[in-house]
Amino acid sequence: MKTEIEVKFYQVDVEDIRRRLRDADATLVQPMRLMRRALIEEPQHQQIHSFIRIRDEGDKVTLTYKRRSDSAASQIDGTKEIEVVVSDFEDTVMLFQEAGWQYKTFQESKRETWQLGGAEIVIDEWPWLQPYIEIEADSESEVRDASEKLGLSWDDKLIGHLDALYEKEYEFAENFRGVIDVREVRFDAPLPKQLKAR
pLDDT reported for residue 71: 59
* 110 vs 143: CA distance, rounded Å: 22
CB of 96 closer than 8 Å to CB of 40 = yes
pLDDT reported for residue 73: 54
* CATH code of the domain in which 145 resides: 2.40.320.10
According to DSSP, the β-strands at 105-116 and 184-185 are parallel
The answer for residues whose C-beta is within 8 angstroms of residue 177's C-beta and 6 or more apart is 163
pTM here is: 0.89
* 165 vs 129: CA distance, rounded Å: 8
Domain containing 104: what range? 2-197
pLDDT reported for residue 190: 96
pLDDT-flagged residues of the chain (< 70)? 70-74
pLDDT reported for residue 162: 92
Beta bridge partners, 80, equal: 3, 67
pLDDT reported for residue 154: 96
3-state secondary structure of 7: strand
Q: How many domains does the chain have?
A: 1
pLDDT reported for residue 74: 58
SS3 content of the chain, % helix, strand, coil (to 5): 25, 40, 35
